[in-house]
Chains A and B, each alone.
Chain A
């Protein structure tokens, strides 16, 4: 199978869908001729022009609000917010408007809107350009959230998201854009709300997503040489959450850790962990463990940031302590 980068796979998904449906257009900061902050829209403007690939002012609330207004009046916009951190500038439009309009108006209007959000620390970008704020949106009923980890899934999930009539946030780790992986040719989608068991194991379940998933897979590989078999699950969607796959795995391994790059308190790990205790508590042989970033703003100096974010060493150590 061919290998392409995560960034290329995402662009392929958008291109294919835009070619099929004239109602789809793309808007955001520097997404046109410049090709996106990380080359993540490279080639779209050349193919679709100013009308369908729109550079916007630095006005995040307007980006989301205009996209929403277009979505409820017959278009199918993809709105990009250049950094997860900048979602803060559009919070009203996302939380009070996008997430609520379908429900609040009694289900009478559909909101076919994709919010594409590059995110992720470990780029030495410090406290305002490194955050993982996914838990905020998980806490907002009315939004679906996908967090693809591989080139194959970013393409498949974006295609599913673009075709759906609900608002969906797609959070893409900036450090994954250059990572290559196998991507099938042709038309395929990845279902939203389905996790994937990336590696089978019997000793412990590790649940993760995005960049941290790859750290977990490296750790699992290493531990397997020591005779420890880690089952690694890529949740892929935070909402809806595939509890079926998670529960089946925990029933098998009886131990579970959740790993994410977002800070610990009130994070995705808290929600997933609590759901596990509510549904399969009787199968647990050890308390559910969260392995997450420390509860501080992301610091700049590499030595500080590396201390805050879960490293492979920390993940490995925590897993071993549970066995």
Chain B
């Protein structure tokens, strides 16, 4: 393998970190410890990790309602994330955002976003800002097959191309917009085909293969940094859970157990782990070690969130505006 061993282990570790974080969120939500809505990234880890592994710390990402994976992949702090999911004062947004609205501008995370496709123009604007400031960063927008059918996608991709902005549009096609199959909702089989309409490269990749995602993203990042403009990457993937935690057996009103099983057999973590085992980069002992360390980190995040104070009710009235003279 051409890639550095530590780099590959880092990719593996990040995917496991996302998986375990999400499993913990699912557990806590099911126990009614976490309020609100949760959309889990389980099954799609290769997309976030493959893409962000090409990015610098100062690059931007825009995320979705299913955002935990993107945030962790970009370096988000699991303690602050978990505290936010608990609605605690110590959370990323002081409890004002919750699962669908976590941001960390210091890490280039422009925010998860509860409105489908809404981060696309915002990321486009970040890319415009990069170009105007001449900083050589890139800006990545994650969205789903559902988001690709919003007008915002068209407006954003077109303008980013017209202005040759360093934007990368990553469609994580998990094949269902809530319960509606892409086959019923999209006129073409591959969203990557849409790239032609914007005169930009369109990459179609196996979203369960982290290295395939990485390789496509690398090309897109290179093109963006060189001032050549945006790219579209479609990653075919699958969510192993319902649209949200609590969908339960209704998940099988729109997809079959057989399909789910088939996709689970292509689990991006197991698959990549097997490659690393085969290459001798990973051993069962190392896997155990990685698992143990991540479990500890997640326990620590839960403990931090659990022990953190709630905001005072009247804190709800703060942060509406930047107070004049404070900036």
- Which residues does A use to contact B, with CB under 8 Å? 25, 51, 56-57, 59, 61-62, 64-75, 77, 92-93, 96-97, 101-111, 141-142, 144, 164-166
13 contacts across the A-B interface (CB closer than 8 A): A64-B121, A65-B118, A66-B122, A69-B125, A72-B105, A75-B129, A77-B125, A103-B96, A105-B105, A106-B319, A108-B93, A110-B322, A166-B321
- A70→B159 contact, CB < 8 A: no
- A73→B130 contact, CB < 8 A: yes
15 new A-B pairs (CB below 8 Å) besides A62-B152, A104-B97? A51-B132, A61-B155, A62-B156, A71-B125, A73-B110, A92-B118, A93-B121, A97-B113, A97-B115, A103-B319, A106-B95, A106-B97, A107-B94, A108-B103, A109-B103
- A105 vs B104: C-alpha distance when bound (angstroms): 8
Name the residue on A nearest B322 (C-beta): A165
Shortest CB distance A274–B (Å): 20
**B21 at interface by CB-CB < 8 Å:** no
Name the residue on A nearest B121 (C-beta): A65
Chain B residues 123-140 with CB under 8 Å of chain A are: 123-130, 132-133, 139
Shortest CB distance A1–B (Å): 28
Contact of A62 among B111, B121, B129, B130 (CB under 8 A): B121
**B226 at interface by CB-CB < 8 Å:** no
Please, which residues of chain B bring their CB within 8 A of the CB of A73? Answer: 60, 110, 125-126, 129-130
Contact of A102 among B91, B152, B319 (CB under 8 A): B319
A105 with B130: in contact, given A70-B125, A97-B122, A144-B321 (CB under 8 Å)?
A: no
Please, which residues of chain B bring their CB within 8 A of the CB of A110? Answer: 322, 327
- A97 vs B111: C-alpha distance when bound (angstroms): 11
- A110 vs B319: C-alpha distance when bound (angstroms): 10
- B118→A93 contact, CB < 8 A: yes
Name the residue on A nearest B326 (C-beta): A165
Please, which residues of chain A bring their CB within 8 A of the CB of B101? Answer: 104-105
Name the residue on B nearest A111 (C-beta): B322
Shortest CB distance B104–A (Å): 8
Name the residue on A nearest B167 (C-beta): A69
**B291 at interface by CB-CB < 8 Å:** no
- A72 vs B119: C-alpha distance when bound (angstroms): 12
- A51 vs B159: C-alpha distance when bound (angstroms): 14
- B322→A166 contact, CB < 8 A: yes
Which 7 A-B pairs have CB atoms at the shortest separation, nearest pair first? A69-B125, A65-B121, A107-B319, A106-B93, A66-B125, A62-B155, A106-B94
Please, which residues of chain B bring their CB within 8 A of the CB of A141? Answer: 320
Shortest CB distance B224–A (Å): 15
Please, which residues of chain A bring their CB within 8 A of the CB of B132? Answer: 25, 51, 70, 75
- A61 vs B119: C-alpha distance when bound (angstroms): 11
Name the residue on B nearest A75 (C-beta): B129
Name the residue on B nearest A240 (C-beta): B321
**B86 at interface by CB-CB < 8 Å:** no
Shortest CB distance B94–A (Å): 4
Chain B residues 288-320 with CB under 8 Å of chain A are: 318-320
Shortest CB distance A303–B (Å): 38
Contact of B322 among A62, A66, A96, A102 (CB under 8 A): A102
Shortest CB distance B168–A (Å): 14
Please, which residues of chain A bring their CB within 8 A of the CB of B92? Answer: 105-106
Which of B62, B125, B130 has the most C-beta atoms of chain A within 10 angstroms of its own C-beta? B125
**B120 at interface by CB-CB < 8 Å:** yes
**B4 at interface by CB-CB < 8 Å:** no
Name the residue on B nearest A142 (C-beta): B320
- B159→A96 contact, CB < 8 A: no
Please, which residues of chain B bring their CB within 8 A of the CB of A108? Answer: 93, 103, 105
- A108 vs B162: C-alpha distance when bound (angstroms): 32
Which of B91, B123, B155 has the most C-beta atoms of chain A within 10 angstroms of its own C-beta? B155
A105 with B122: in contact, given A57-B162, A164-B324, A166-B321 (CB under 8 Å)?
A: no
**B158 at interface by CB-CB < 8 Å:** yes
Please, which residues of chain B bring their CB within 8 A of the CB of A59? Answer: 155, 158-159
- B318→A107 contact, CB < 8 A: yes
- B125→A104 contact, CB < 8 A: no
- B93→A69 contact, CB < 8 A: no
A101 with B111: in contact, given A69-B126, A69-B128 (CB under 8 Å)?
A: yes
**B189 at interface by CB-CB < 8 Å:** no
- B159→A62 contact, CB < 8 A: yes
**B280 at interface by CB-CB < 8 Å:** no
Which of A56, A66, A75, A164 has the most C-beta atoms of chain B within 10 angstroms of its own C-beta? A66
**B248 at interface by CB-CB < 8 Å:** no
- A65→B156 contact, CB < 8 A: yes
Name the residue on B nearest A51 (C-beta): B132
A105 with B322: in contact, given A25-B132, A56-B159, A165-B327 (CB under 8 Å)?
A: no
- B94→A65 contact, CB < 8 A: no
- A102 vs B94: C-alpha distance when bound (angstroms): 12
Please, which residues of chain B bring their CB within 8 A of the CB of A111? Answer: 322
- A102→B321 contact, CB < 8 A: yes
Name the residue on A nearest B133 (C-beta): A74
